[in-house]
Amino acid sequence: MTDEEQAIRNAITDGKTFLGIELGSTRIKSVLIDENHATIASGGYSWENRLENGIWTYDLEDAWTGLRASYQDLNRSIRARYDLELEKVSAIGISGMMVGYLVFDRDDRQLVPFRTWRNTITEEASHRLTDLFKFNIPQRWSIAHLYQAMLNGESHVKDIAFLTTLAGYIHWQLTGKKVVALGDASGILPINQQTCDYDARMVELFNELLPDFGISWKLRDILPQACVAGADAGVLTEAGAQLLDSSGKLQPGIPLCPPEGDGITGMVATNSVAPGTGNISAGTSIFTLIILEKMIENVHPDIEFLATPEGRPAAMVHASTCTSDLDAWVGLFREFKDLLGADVDDSRLYELLYNTGLEGDADAGGMLAYNYLAGEHLTRFEEGRPLFARHPNSRFTLANFMRSHLYAALATFRIGLDYLLTQEGVKITRVLGHGGFFKTEGVGQRIIAAVMNAPVSVMETAGEGGAWGIAVLAAYLRQRNEVESFEDFLSERVFADFSGKTVTPDPADVRGFQTFMERYRAGLPIMRAAVDNLKPN
């Protein structure tokens, strides 16, 4: 055994490690890091949302099944390499898909199925609250879901005793504490950057609406407490330890950091919490978060304003679908590969197809694709219909086909980004990427660099994503007294020796993507016709 392996064994035995668990849209991932914030082991579990009665949802029992399976997978990795069982850690952090709608009554019973970020069913509430608050309230946000339920006359609303996020729910069950971190809180209701709390003016404006609906509770009565990074957020209870580790080996009493949203842990994983920095998360969905010097005063319907773990304003552009349709096409090629009996694993298949896309014409040969598995607020579609179209004169090659779908994965995102970069003139000094779109080395970076016309970097930690980011926030809980701020903690302690790979935009790719986007915008009526006329079975 090497000295390094022995040091890791000692850290695991002594509990000098930090555990991060993130419930993402397709994967629940667990990551264990050491005191130097290096990854020791990881585990995962795949899960999927489903469309039930017109609502995109996950069953919370599936969340617990996946959470335990992910943790067990992490433990298997530790046993296999270090012949140890994980019994204690210095701190734990929980992250999850941001926003959505999870509500419970006074007996802690779930009132309606979890309404996820993917739903675009709150348009009326979104518009009314934006007008009321003079602040953009996207359809995905929890307050929009709550108000829409009120407008719909849903009977459960009067019985709500607690509204929270997915991360907030898991944390509550593990600790008994009804809290969320500032970033996650900012997707429930806007945060005041000066007070690092829910905006008091907006809380009162919302409360003034309640009597007309016969509601007796006040908004703050049902919201989780908003917590700044490093705040005391409770400890793992005996019941919580059993929920996480059914073997009973994990000890209770472990501190937990405030539960944070996946968009914010992405900031952490890419060291993008200081003004002028930005990060891109590209996977099932795609979003960019750019940290601002100060809040933008204008209200844009397609720009969300969230908060960093310390409360700085961050501008977000989000598109609901990124790689899902692309993955489906790769799945079709997988079936063809299996039909041929070819011995090619999934990683190699993605690598071959993605790199083939780079060999295509810069404008994708005149082809057109839309990846809309669900509605997209940026282009005002309430439902999705994935489409591929071409002109008879299009250059129909595999390379152009793949490039068209790589472009399509990012095209709607670019439409939203135009508001921020063009109208507000926001400058970005550093962009870092993470998520599944970057797994095939160099391809995702090159495409996104063309989309943003800016250099894009991927750091070594990007593969671990938000699970690593929330583990770092857990470490900050125990190490915060050693630095002045969380920004300093990241730059001086976590990323001091970390390096990344940077891809600068190819001018030909930039021009080619611009041509593709002209075709994409012009073809949106095709999407409208498909939504209106292609009905589900």
Please state whether beta strands 277-282 and 430-434 pair in parallel, antiparallel, or not at all (unpaired). Answer: parallel
pLDDT of residue 461: 52
Give the 3-state DSSP-derived string for 368-424, with helices as H, strands as E and coil as C: EEECCCCCEHHHCECCCCCEEECCCCCCCCHHHHHHHHHHHHHHHHHHHHHHHHHHC
> Do residues 420 and 303 touch, judged by C-beta distance below 8 A?
yes
- Residue 465 φ then ψ, to 5°: 60, -145
pLDDT tens readout for residues 409-467: 999 999 988 888 888 888 877 788 877 898 888 999 999 999 988 888 887 655 567 89
pLDDT of residue 496: 85
- pLDDT band at residue 367 using 50, 70 and 90 as cut-offs: very high
Rg, Å, the chain Cα set: 23
What angle do helix axes 398-418 and 324-340 make, rounded to 10 degrees?
A: 170
Give the count of beta carbons closer than 10 Å to the beta carbon of residue 331.
11
pLDDT of residue 460: 62
Q: What's the token pair of residue 483?
A: 């630095």
- Point out the least confidently predicted range of 25-39, 387-401, 429-443, 522-536: 429-443
pLDDT of residue 71: 98
Alpha carbons 71 and 86: distance in angstroms, whole number: 10
Per the prediction, the chain carries an average pLDDT of: 93
Give the count of beta carbons closer than 10 Å to the beta carbon of residue 89.
24
Sign of CA dihedral 31, 34, 36, 38: negative
The partner residues of 282 in beta bridges, in order of sequence, read 286
Section 13-19 average pLDDT: 97
Among 48-52, 144-148, 265-269, name the most confident range.
144-148
pLDDT tens readout for residues 186-218: 999 999 999 999 999 999 999 999 999 999 999
Please, how many CA atoms are within 13 Å of residue 438, restricted to the half-sphere of its CB?
Answer: 26
> Do residues 95 and 18 touch, judged by C-beta distance below 8 A?
no
DSSP state of 303: -
Give the count of beta carbons closer than 10 Å to the beta carbon of residue 346.
11
Alpha carbons 282 and 292: distance in angstroms, whole number: 21
pLDDT higher than 70, residue 498: no
- Point out the least confidently predicted range of 38-42, 94-98, 313-317: 313-317
Alpha carbons 73 and 35: distance in angstroms, whole number: 22
Section 466-475 average pLDDT: 96
Alpha carbons 29 and 21: distance in angstroms, whole number: 6
Please state whether beta strands 55-57 and 50-52 pair in parallel, antiparallel, or not at all (unpaired). Answer: antiparallel
Section 468-487 average pLDDT: 93
- 3 state DSSP class of 302: coil
> Do residues 91 and 109 touch, judged by C-beta distance below 8 A?
no
pLDDT higher than 70, residue 4: yes
**Neighbour order of strands in the sheet with 27-34:** 39-46, 27-34, 17-23, 91-96, 260-261
Instruction: Give the containing element (helix H, strand E) for 63.
Output: helix 60-82
Alpha carbons 537 and 217: distance in angstroms, whole number: 42
Contacts of 368 (CB under 8 A, 6+ apart): 387, 388, 389, 390, 404, 519, 520, 523, 526
Name residue 375's amino acid: G
pLDDT of residue 181: 98
pLDDT of residue 279: 86
> Do residues 183 and 261 touch, judged by C-beta distance below 8 A?
yes
Residue that has been written with the tokens 């995962």 in this structure = 44
The partner residues of 44 in beta bridges, in order of sequence, read 29
> Do residues 64 and 138 touch, judged by C-beta distance below 8 A?
no
- Point out the least confidently predicted range of 14-23, 108-117, 320-329: 320-329
Alpha carbons 72 and 178: distance in angstroms, whole number: 26
Section 264-275 average pLDDT: 89
Contacts of 175 (CB under 8 A, 6+ apart): 233, 234, 235, 236, 237, 240, 256
Which residues in 65-182 belong to E strands, given as ranges? 91-96, 102-104, 162-164, 179-181
pLDDT of residue 302: 83
pLDDT of residue 484: 85
Residue that has been written with the tokens 């929330």 in this structure = 470
